[in-house]
Amino acid sequence: MNNNTSKFTKNKYVLNWIDEVVALTNPKEVILIDGGESQIKQLRKEGCSTGEMIELNQKKMPGCYYHRTKPNDVARMEDRTFICSKDEINAGPTNNWKSPEEAYKLGKEIFKNSMTGRTMYVIPYCMGPIGSPFSKIGIEVTDSIYVVLNMHIMTRTGKQALNMLGFTNDFVRGLHGKCTLDETKRYIFHFPEDNTIWSLNSAYGGNVLLGKKCFALRIATYMGKQEGWMAEHMLILGIENPKGEIKYIAAAFPSACGKTNLAMLIPPEIFRNKGYKIWTVGDDIAWIRIGDDGRLYAVNPEAGFFGVAPGTNVKSNPNALAATARNTIFTNVAINKDDMTVWWEKLTNTPPTENMEDWIGRPWNYKTSTEKGANPNSRFTAPAKNCPCISSEWESSNGVPLSAIIFGGRRAKTAPLVYQSRDWNHGIFIGSAMASETTAAANGQVGVIRRDPMAMLPFCGYNMADYFGHWIEMGQKTDKLPKIFHVNWFRTNENGDFIWPGYGENFRVLEWMLKRCENKVDAKEVEIGYVPNIDDLNLEGLDMDKETLNNLLSIDKNLWLEDANGIEEFYNKFNGRIPTELQNELETLKNNLK
């Protein structure tokens, strides 16, 4: 068997681990990914020859390729995702748990000889900028070219990552195998105490790009707890004012609640003309540490965007669309067979042609077909550097200082457009109580309200009550904390229509937040925190009257009392482990509402 790994590293921990994986999976050859463009080019060619990848129109979409997954393998499968901590209590009631012994045993049975006749690819990668004190090294072993090509976009791969690792044992071991793609034996096992991830029988991005949610959140949350930092499901953006000053905000939203749109927002013309700009640091994940000056600093550990395609268009997110113009991989969208370009619902009003293939590969005619051309959770994997509004600080070793943290979700009636927490612990309470309507990004019903604290419910690698406690502990280490806000772009009227126009107009809310951070405006204290005074939210150039805005900021006490009961019900799952500080905040909310 050809194994070239030892040519690139003398790290005994890496070599010993790869030997173990080889003995278990029995590949025909082992190829180490060096991160070089010539090797990637060769893998694209090889992937196209086997049908794993499809080359798109290289004149119209240079460097772009296409991949289809099986119809039963199109989204994260939370019911097949496990935290394998030694003690079940450390996984907590919101995670599925298996003991490490059981998970390793089951995984080994499935992985045994699963790469026979296949090539094993070893991908060293860095989460975060090379050389940054924030950054961490992972190594993913896979039998999928699709995974290699995606990880090359999403992370910093190859020799640079191995050089940063040096001879230490400080790396996350990730093993992925397509195996037989048997959905009854599909598992994603996380072993936080072992820095290990195993993914079996899937070929869909979110389950197999192990640097993404698996490492950057589930394993990293546990690392952060041990080491005194935070891994969060948050975008990071910079707001530049007319004086050229830039303030940074991190924001947590459940999938498909406008996170990428906010990260790449274009301010309304009236603000652009004054000189306001938005700069994208990251669209999905933030690793946050306390800096030497006591402020919280955030980095985006990723190097690309793994975005939901349907709904992305020139109006909703022109910057994301521009990022996909080159060197992008599209998964499960529709293909225009006339010119080998891609299409998805809401990209344009109608597809460019009737001669299309849908995401399963069937002939698709938008005039006669009853099903959608693209899967609702179809994706694009695009390099962050392609984004027209990418921040000059997006690869800063020290990260960017946070002025504000935003929580948000889809609530038709309860949450107002925006409100601010009274203090840090109250902000944690607001984050812990977050609820949103479910979307296609997770398997299950769409439109059902579920609690999703800090948008981390599927991604916290240990007991969520302890995770809330870690937030409280972080707040006790410094007095230079960001202000915390909650937003809801999705409030509806009696006809079910959104009242707030959203998209770029969300900038108006961000502007108010920064004024609050700089103590430039007062706010009105209500039962749940602070809401804007009507005149302090800039509606200039927006077709909205103050009465409508007043409605958007109103509090329905009955709905909030109902919500408080829902929060209490959620807290009760943790059997008394919820921090006292948050229990006290819940009591304060109830008393305020009475």
pLDDT at 29: 96
* 580 backbone φψ class: left, alpha, beta (φ>0; ψ -120 to 50): alpha
Residue 207 has pLDDT above 80, yes or no: yes
Question: Sorting pLDDT into bands at 50, 70 and 90, what band is 261?
Answer: confident
Within 10 angstroms of residue 322's Cβ, the number of other Cβ atoms is 16
pLDDT at 437 exceeding the cut of 80: no
- The confidence score (pLDDT) of residue 254 equals 82
In this prediction, residues 536-553 reach a mean pLDDT of 95
State the pLDDT at residue 469: 98
Cite the beta strand spans of 409-445 per DSSP E. Answer: 418-420, 435-437
Q: pLDDT at position 257, please? A: 78
Question: Quick check: 442 pLDDT over 60?
Answer: no
pLDDT at 205: 92
Q: 459: helix, coil or strand?
A: coil
Calculate mean pLDDT across residues 477-488.
98
What was the pLDDT predicted at 440?
Answer: 55
pLDDT digits (tens, 9 = 90+) for 311-344: 999 988 999 999 999 999 999 999 999 999 999 9
Res. 441: pLDDT tops 80: no
Q: What are the pLDDT digits (tens) for 66-86? A: 999 999 999 988 899 999 999
CB 434 within 8 A of CB 460: no
pLDDT band per the 50, 70, 90 thresholds, residue 6: confident
CA distance between the termini of the chain: 72
Catalytic site residue from 257, 387, 389, 460: 257
Q: What is the pLDDT of residue 53?
A: 98
Which of 151, 152, 124 has its CA nearest to residue 138?
Answer: 124
Is the pLDDT assigned to residue 439 strictly greater than 60?
Answer: no
User: Which stretches does DSSP call E strand in 13-118?
Assistant: 29-32, 54-55, 65-67, 81-83, 96-97
Cα radius of gyration (the chain): 24
pLDDT at 429: 98
Closest CA to 457 of 468, 470, 446: 468
Query: How many CA atoms, within 13 angstroms, populate the side-chain half-sphere of residue 83?
Result: 30
Question: 343 near 351, Cβ under 8 Å?
Answer: yes
Looking at residue 446, its pLDDT comes to 61
Q: Within 315-358, where are the H helices?
A: 318-323
Which percentage of the chain shows pLDDT scores above 90?
A: 92
Give the length of the chain.
Answer: 594
Q: Given this model, what pLDDT does residue 186 score?
A: 98
Report how far residue 489's alpha carbon sits from residue 552's, in angstroms, rounded to the nearest whole number. Answer: 9
How confident is the model over 244-256, as a mean pLDDT?
A: 91
Rounded CA-CA distance 193/91 in Å is 11
The candidate with the shortest Cα–Cα distance to 80, out of 202, 223, 218, 261, is: 202
**Which one has a higher pLDDT value, 446 or 350?**
350
Active site residue 257: yes
Per the structure block, which two tokens stand in for 133?
Answer: 């004190």
Residue 256 pLDDT > 80:
no
Q: Report the SS3 class of residue 171.
A: strand
Q: Which residue has the tokens 């936080």?
A: 192
| Residue 475 CA to its chain's centroid (Å) | 24
CB atoms within 10 A of CB 89: 16
| Domains observed in the chain | 2-51+79-227 (3.40.449.10), 232-303+391-593 (3.90.228.20), 305-386 (2.170.8.10)
Record the pTM: 0.96
Name beta bridge partners: 408.
487
When the pLDDT of each residue in the chain is averaged and rounded to a whole number, the result is 95
DSSP 219: I
What whole-number distance in Å separates Cα of residue 71 and Cα of residue 81? 19
Amino acid 447: pLDDT: 59
What pLDDT, on a 0 to 100 scale, did the predictor assign at position 274?
97
Per residue in 10-51, pLDDT (tens digit) is 999 999 999 999 999 999 999 999 999 999 999 999 999 999
Over residues 268-324, the pLDDT tens digits come to 999 999 999 999 999 999 999 999 999 999 999 999 999 999 999 998 899 999 999
Measured CA to CA in angstroms, residue 580 lies from 472, 571, 574 at distances of 10, 11, 12
HSE of 201 in the Cβ direction (CA atoms, 13 Å)?
21
CA distances from 160 to 127, 235, 259 (A): 12, 26, 30
Report pLDDT for 35. Answer: 94
Closest by Cα among 376, 337, 370 to 354:
337
Q: Left, alpha or beta for 325 (phi > 0: left; psi -120 to 50: alpha)?
A: alpha
**pLDDT-derived band of residue 172, with 50, 70 and 90 as boundaries?**
very high
The predicted pLDDT at position 8 comes to: 78
CB 296 within 8 A of CB 288: yes
Pairing of strands 286-290, 230-232: antiparallel
